[in-house]
Amino acid sequence: MTSQQTEHRGLSVQSISTSFGDGQARVAVLDDISMNVDEGEFVAVVGPSGSGKSTLLNAIAGFAPPDSGELLVNGQPVREPGPSRCVVFQEYAVFPWLTVRRNIDFGTRLRSWTGTRQQRAQIVDRYLDMMGLREFAEALPKTLSGGMRQRVAIARAYAVDPQILLMDEPFAALDAQTREYMQESLIEINQRERRTVMFVTHQVEEAIFLADRVIVMTARPATIQEVVPIPWKGPERTHEIKTDPEFVRLRRHIEGLLRSPDGHGS
Ligand SMILES: Nc1ncnc2c1ncn2[C@@H]1O[C@H](COP(=O)(O)OP(=O)(O)OP(=O)(O)O)[C@@H](O)[C@H]1O
């Protein structure tokens, strides 16, 4: 086989380990983590608080390269931030001095292919419509609710057209109703514009609802405790599935893993 035939499309995490501090104060956070996320796949990462979920995302984003191991996007090593990966954080993810339209346009400028001004405007319009932001296009973020601001952040991340989208508890600060609405919006945008997504959450229900696979981490130093495949496909994901016996069984199973000695309870 040629190297082209063996190249994995998507994200490949190969034996990465990370620690913070030196000598006696050294704390091992990630311990030999390996996983592949296929192109177009949506994985959710759950684990006890402080286990290293954000550290994993930051390593993949290139903000804090691991001590050892390798990260590959479409077969290419990554060790620093770049437009192949885009992060949506819990808060502060939009530029407060730019309007909604200009925030999203900022994303289009980071594309490897930026196109003409007019083509970029069309892309921005598409995301404004997709995320229900059209009537707020000229508004500044401070005039919007938290949920709307996160819509802008997600629209901007998709506008960058990254190979991998990294989301670090993007809905954690939202009230329950807004959170459900945002979950639906994310499913919808990702059905239209299928991307490879890694989504960190504390909520097991959210992880099962959104993801094709749920990666359950152990307590620190984090290893992968179990990878749980989720059976529902795109259009089947409506909030009704949350009461489906299989959904309830998966939720109990994952919550049990998090409570186990490896998960150290949470
Ligand atoms: N820059 C740093 N320097 C020192 N220690 C750090 C640093 N970043 C993270 N840590 C420590 O590494 C561990 C993992 O942190 P991380 O934020 O990745 O966990 P997490 O699973 O995302 O937590 P949570 O679920 O609470 O958000 C924690 O004990 C944290 O205190």
**Atom 5 in ligand 1: residue holding the nearest Cα:** 20
**Average pLDDT for runs of 10 along the chain of length 266:** 64 95 89 95 95 94 93 92 86 86 89 79 91 93 90 90 92 89 89 92 96 95 95 87 96 94 61
The pLDDT score that the predictor gives to residue 233 is: 86
C-alpha distances out from residue 225 to 64, 185, 265, Å: 23, 30, 13
Torsion angles phi and psi, residue 111, rounded to 5 = -65, 150
Handedness of CA 197, 38, 204, 14 (dihedral sign): negative
Q: How far is the CA of 142 from the centre of ligand 1 (A)?
A: 29
| Alpha-carbon span 176 to 29, nearest angstrom | 31
Mutate to test the pocket of ligand 1, among 26, 51, 215 (most ligand atoms within 8 A of CB): 51
Residues in Cβ contact with 95 at an 8 Å cutoff, skipping those fewer than 6 apart: 102, 103, 106, 141
The pLDDT score that the predictor gives to residue 23 is: 84
| Alpha-carbon span 254 to 189, nearest angstrom | 26
Torsion angles phi and psi, residue 190, rounded to 5 = -75, -20
The pLDDT score that the predictor gives to residue 266 is: 44
Contact 54 CB / ligand 1 (< 6 Å): yes
The pLDDT score that the predictor gives to residue 40 is: 94
Contact 9, 37 (CB under 8 A): no
Contact 221 CB / ligand 1 (< 6 Å): no
The pLDDT score that the predictor gives to residue 265 is: 53
Q: How far is the CA of 77 from the centre of ligand 1 (A)?
A: 24
Torsion angles phi and psi, residue 134, rounded to 5 = -55, -45
The pLDDT score that the predictor gives to residue 1 is: 44
The pLDDT score that the predictor gives to residue 264 is: 60
Considering the entire predicted model, what is its pTM?
0.91
All structural domains of the chain with their residue ranges: 85-161
Please give the number of the atom of ligand 1 that sits closest to the Cα of 51: 21
